[in-house]
Amino acid sequence: MANLTDINCRDNQVNGGALSINAEKNTSKNRARLITIVFIAVVLIGVGVGGYFLATRVIFAKKRVPKVTGLKVSEARKNIRIAGLSCSVRYIHNYRTNNEIVVKQSVAPNSKVDKGTVIAITLEDKDMETALAAARQSLGQANTALQEVQSMGIDTSDLVDPIKNAQAKLDSSKTVVDCTGQTESVCYWANVVINGCNTKKRAYAAQQDRNNQIAACRAAMYAYARASSASDLSISIDSISMNADCTYATAAVHGTFTSGPRKGTSTETAKVIAARRGGTWVGVDFGTGI
């Protein structure tokens, strides 16, 4: 018959083994739990790091510059904004025609730049620029014509207002019509000045030619009158009347005629006639009376 001590020893061995088994089970559970936690942590860290780098790549990625030349300002701004960039605008003119298009962009199309980079665009109305160029050219020609006429000593007081009007219109032009319109435009007033100057120059040239013809005619009349009277005849010629095309003229001759129809010692008045033949003036009659 087993004694009590042996029974207690056996019970202790059984309980000890049970405790050992339970301890091992607990250790395995803890290890599995720790592995799970570590795995989840690694996954979370990986997702976080990946998300960070992905977000960084998206946020800080280079942006491609769109081509906006040839577009109106609203469309150009929209395309630049969609690309993740900013825009600044400069107009060539100091006013707006609402027909401007982009003629220049500060960064070439398809270039890669940082997000938010400012793309400067320049806008111009091509038709307006062409009209302005024509207006400036016309005004320049008008000023040149005016200076040329003034240098000839010709009165240009009647052209003061037209040249002022042309300059004022250029300074305030906002449309193509303001520049090159048929009335009240820069070109209109400039042409008034140019045409006025041309008319004055033609009149001046015609008068100069007529003055030259009168001088040549007078010389021919003197020569003819002297030859018809006496070599020492002292005469004066005035009141020359010449036709419009400067081919025929008459004049009064005053003097003492020593021969011819008016021969005598007293001072007389006679008539002399001259004509232009082949570009040369010659006397054709003298002494028939006035």
Q: Which pLDDT belongs to residue 1?
A: 47
Residue pair 286/275 in contact (Cβ under 8 Å)? The answer is no
CA 76 to chain centre: 23
H-only helix segments in 103-185? 126-151, 160-172, 176-180
Q: Which residue stretches of the chain have pLDDT < 70?
A: 1-26, 28-30, 32, 38-39, 41-43, 46-60, 229-234, 256-268, 287-290
d(CA 50, CA 149): 83
pTM of the entire predicted model: 0.60
**pLDDT by residue (tens digit) across 189-211?**
999 999 999 999 999 999 999 99
Tokens 């301890």 label which residue?
23
d(CA 19, CA 176): 104
